[in-house]
Chain A
């Protein structure tokens, strides 16, 4: 088996891999290493770590007098009206949604084979993850519109059940929000699980079956223990992390009357403190961060698992005629089950693909109606027209916002890749507790929600005379995107074979040249980081809401402003949403293999 096909999640699959294999190579000189690490270190220290410490300090300080008050702020925050339901709902999100995404992702991955149709199905499933969360909110609010003449899901449910339930009402709003989130994230789980299943050698399952294993044994021994357990931990962790930030979704999808029963910590922190750092607001933020960090740490521990080398566990099928002590029992009969499972397996991916493509089709169809038609009837009842697009471009704000976001995203992406490459290069050669410590710090910086540190970040930007400028906004995006990029590139660099590293160092003229050539050697990881960072900045709403200023309006903020009077504006809103989703979806589809590998390897180690 070639090395490339053996590689999954950044590690070799079948060969032995207990502990770090390739670390501990020669260090670059201390001076050069400091110089390389300095830009990233300053940025992260100033815009992430220092604000986090400030928030921590504010959470144990009386906001008015500045004295140390211990846990009093935490008590105030938790005793405020409605704090516990909000906390409970946040935990519910973090527990239920990742479970659903994981199970559904595994089933769909196991059902879709390595065929052409399977690849097409996975393409359709992975597209929603590139769509901005604001657009997902718009799509699902259009579908869940309580008017059966307008809302697709309401009309279908009414046809099937008689009376449609109020999807956006207070009792079902959280379920509806979760359904939107699952729609967006299942594709990632499917692709990751598919890659994991493909990487497991087929004769492993055969070997277990040859020794009389049932389907359950095959699953446990040939799939779960080798790789799937670890993949499940990765997918669960990634999804749980994402649910901590369903800010955009709730803000746009929940009408005003249900915002209270739909709130999670992200919304509550923003609504009650307006991005400040004082007292109880900071305490709430610290609690939130602690919960997220604990969850991530638990997931990271669950991922560390050594796959024992072959020859010790998986029995090799004996040559015919060999006599062993116990006679291997005959394989159990399971033909009827296989037939049913096979039929279900063939139908399930197609059904899933249709179901997943449907909401986007609803969005495009709604956008192809005149604003008046879109507001008064469903997309299936009126003639198609371009009026909504014409109106969207009418006053020039959309064009300006597109240009501004494009320049911002491109600039931030270039800077992130360069700085992360520079920082990852010396970090890749570290080993031992220092490497673990740095990895943990980067992981913490990656999971911290930006609402928690918004106030101190603004203070820092104010000191630099940059608050409210486009440059300040870019710096914040840069600081938030660096940790993940550094992790991914560090892992990729550490995997480069020793022979290649030696060759590059011998032929490279200076340190910069070596870094450049190493970058070429890990091109897929660089592509992954580029695409992910660009899409992240393009799709963003929170950072734009908190830090943007007079220089320009990011697209997320524009969409949020347009979603105010939702129904009356639905034609134009759908048009803008469609236009905003085109670029990230194309990028992610074009680079999907690298993106998946990058996302998953960054969560390990």
Chain B
């Protein structure tokens, strides 16, 4: 059994060697085949309704496209894929800060200038890095809206003081009568909801230039306007009984769930953008009245207008990313979003009369007419200061929320603490050391 092997076995070994060599060659062939006819890939952060609408948009594209719904961790996802060399062709990001980061690292393909002419200058400049264009806008969101349940709230608060008074009154009523609806629903588990609250208040209070310089990553978080904004937020958030199930539960409530709470009448008002409409439509029961929007209350005589948006970028090395991007950002591809309602387009080719009359057209006109474009601040920050689950500005504001809604809250201390953390995070991001 351990003697010299007969020649037949050597033949067997050689056969095996030949087979394995062939097997090693197969992947190369397979990779070559697959690279030629594999579908284009798009990475998005959307899920549920927005994802369904995006699939509808893609139906008009001639080639097959695969959609990767990655969620809020898209930065970690794209970083990992970049190191693997398997980036998707196109990524649709809601944070221009990320786009700036990636462009500086050389991960993105530069786009021809004619793609930028469809947008107003303010919008175009958000996607420029060192004078070169790296992205194009797919859709925009009007982020200064409140939605309320008309059967519970009789009058829309026009100013911040009235809002605080309504929340106090309804909160006290909710605490004394267990079945009564709470005044506010807030998706505090999603940090970006809290940063949207903060940005609207800051946009109203900030002196000229402060908002832009903060968005650009410059230090300035110690400005009294920031402190004043946090004070106002603490004023309304700390009202007893303000949230469904209490503040602890609010921190575990995600954004869509907070909209469902208002749709089903568990809460009276929810703050968020126009894309609330899609969630409302999905979860409203036929007999129930639909929540209606009203614009963000006036603070110190100023009504803030903050917008957000999703932009598509082409990852470097993709052969057909640009064609796909042209399609996705064209005026024609915006039709499904208009039909669904609740989405706006910054594309100049989509005129305001394409929107159905009513809220959508109203908001489109407001957005086009706003003198100063205030884009969502946390989305413009670079590095992980901007936010992701458990990191950056999202985490700082969630901690602030937890601190001011605690039973014996030290509001002034919490505000000082938050200002200090924001300032330090901004400095670290500027140094590039925040990762």
Known: A31-B13, A276-B79, A469-B31. Contact between A168 and B69, CB under 8 A? no
- The reply to whether A550 and B86 form a contact with Cβ atoms under 8 Å apart is yes
CA separation between A564 and B395, bound complex, in Å?
Answer: 18
CB B39 to nearest CB in A, in angstroms, measures 7
Q: How far apart are the CA atoms of A276 and B75 in the complex, in Å?
A: 13
Known contacts A271-B391, A511-B9, A564-B47; decide if A546 and B264 are in contact (CB<8 Å).
no
Are B190 and A510 interface neighbours, CB within 8 A?
A: no
Q: Are B251 and A257 in contact (CB under 8 A)?
A: yes
| Distance of A248 from chain B, by nearest CB (Å) | 14
Chain A residues with CB below 8 A from B391, complex form = 271
Q: Return A15 CB to nearest CB of chain B, in Å.
A: 28
Is residue A567 within 8 Å, beta carbon to beta carbon, of the partner chain?
Answer: yes
- Residues facing B in A121-171 (CB within 8 A) are 146-147, 166, 168-169
Assembly CA distance A259 to B13 (angstroms):
54
A10 proximal to B (CB < 8 A): no
Cross-interface CB contact of B83 among A147, A455, A506, cutoff 8 Å: A455
A263 touches B390 (CB 8 A): yes
With an 8 A cutoff between CB atoms, is A395 at the interface?
A: yes
A260 to B390, Cβ gap below 8 A? Answer: yes
B252 within 8 A of A: yes
* Contact string against B for A residues 273-306, beta-carbon threshold 8 Å, 1 for contact and 0 otherwise: 0111000000000000000000000000000000
Q: Is A549 an interface residue (CB 8 A)?
A: yes
Do B48 and A468 touch (CB < 8 A)? no
Q: Kindly identify which residue among A395, A462, A561 contacts B71, using a CB–CB cutoff of 8 Å.
A: A561
Is residue A458 within 8 Å, beta carbon to beta carbon, of the partner chain? yes
- Contact residue among B20, B27, B72 (Cβ-Cβ distance under 8 Å from A471): B27
Q: Measured between C-beta atoms, what is the minimum distance from B428 to chain A in Å?
A: 10
Contacts of A551 in B (CB 8 A): 34, 38
Residues from 1 to 30 in B contacting A, C-beta threshold 8 Å? 1-2, 4-5, 8-9, 12-13, 16-17, 20, 27-28, 30
In the complex, whether A553 has a CB less than 8 A from a CB of chain B is yes
Among the listed stretches B143-151, B253-261, B412-420, which one makes contact with chain A, having 4 or more residues with CB under 8 Å of it? B253-261
How many Å lie between the Cα of A270 and that of B252 in the bound state?
23
Q: How many residues of A contact B (CB 8 A)?
A: 64
CA distance A567 to B185 in the complex (A): 15
Of the candidates A259, A546, A568, the one whose C-beta lies within 8 Å of that of B279 is: A568
Contact: A274 with B79, CB < 8 Å?
Answer: yes
Residue of B nearest to A471 (CB): B27
Closest Cβ neighbor of A38 among chain B residues: B20
Q: Would B38 and A564 count as touching, CB distance under 8 A?
A: no
Q: A169-B252, A465-B31 are in contact. Are A32 and B69 (CB under 8 A)?
A: no
- Can you list, as one digit per residue, whether each of B182-194 has a CB less than 8 Å from chain A (1) or not (0)? 0000001111000
Q: How many residues of B contact A (CB 8 A)?
A: 69
Chain A min CB distance to B434 (Å): 10
Q: Verify A255–B254 contact, CB threshold 8 A.
A: yes
Q: Mark B73-91, 1 if CB is under 8 A from A, else 0.
A: 1011101110111101000
A419 to chain B, nearest CB (A): 11
Write the nearest CB–CB distance from B312 to chain A, whole angstroms. 17
With an 8 A cutoff between CB atoms, is B249 at the interface? Answer: yes
Q: Does A376 contact B (CB under 8 A)?
A: yes
Chain B residues, CB < 8 A from A337: none
Q: How far is the CA of A256 from the CA of B131 in the complex (A)?
A: 36
The distance in angstroms between the C-alpha atoms of A39 and B73, with both chains bound, is 37
Known: A376-B264, A469-B30, A471-B31. A257 touches B84 (CB 8 A): no
B86 touches A256 (CB 8 A): no
Return chain B residues, CB-CB under 8 Å to A255: 189, 251-252, 254
> Which residues in A have their C-beta under 8 angstroms from that of B9?
32, 510-511
Instruction: Decide if B389 is an interface residue (CB 8 Å cutoff).
Output: yes
Which B380-396 residues sit within 8 Å CB-CB of chain A? Answer: 388-391, 394-395
Evaluate contact between B34 and A461: CB separation under 8 angstroms: no
B188 near A569: Cβ-Cβ < 8 Å = no
Q: Name the 7 nearest CB pairs between A and B, nearest first.
A: A468-B86, A274-B79, A568-B256, A275-B80, A259-B390, A256-B389, A458-B84
A residues at B contact (CB < 8 Å): 26-29, 31-32, 35, 39, 146-147, 166, 168-169, 255-260, 263, 270-272, 274-276, 371-372, 375-376, 395, 454-455, 458, 461-462, 464-469, 471, 505-506, 510-512, 545-547, 549-551, 553, 560-562, 564-569
* A256-B390, A271-B390, A565-B48 known, 12 other contacts, Cβ within 8 Å: A26-B2, A28-B2, A29-B4, A35-B13, A146-B253, A255-B252, A257-B251, A259-B390, A272-B435, A546-B80, A549-B81, A567-B260
Q: List 19 A-B contacts (CB under 8 A).
A: A35-B17, A146-B252, A166-B249, A256-B72, A271-B390, A272-B435, A274-B83, A276-B80, A464-B27, A467-B85, A469-B34, A471-B31, A511-B9, A545-B77, A546-B80, A547-B84, A560-B71, A568-B48, A568-B260
List chain B positions with a Cβ less than 8 A from chain A. Answer: 1-2, 4-5, 8-9, 12-13, 16-17, 20, 27-28, 30-31, 34, 38-39, 41, 47-48, 52, 55, 66, 68-73, 75-77, 79-81, 83-86, 88, 188-191, 245, 248-249, 251-257, 260, 264, 279, 282-283, 285, 388-391, 394-395, 398, 435
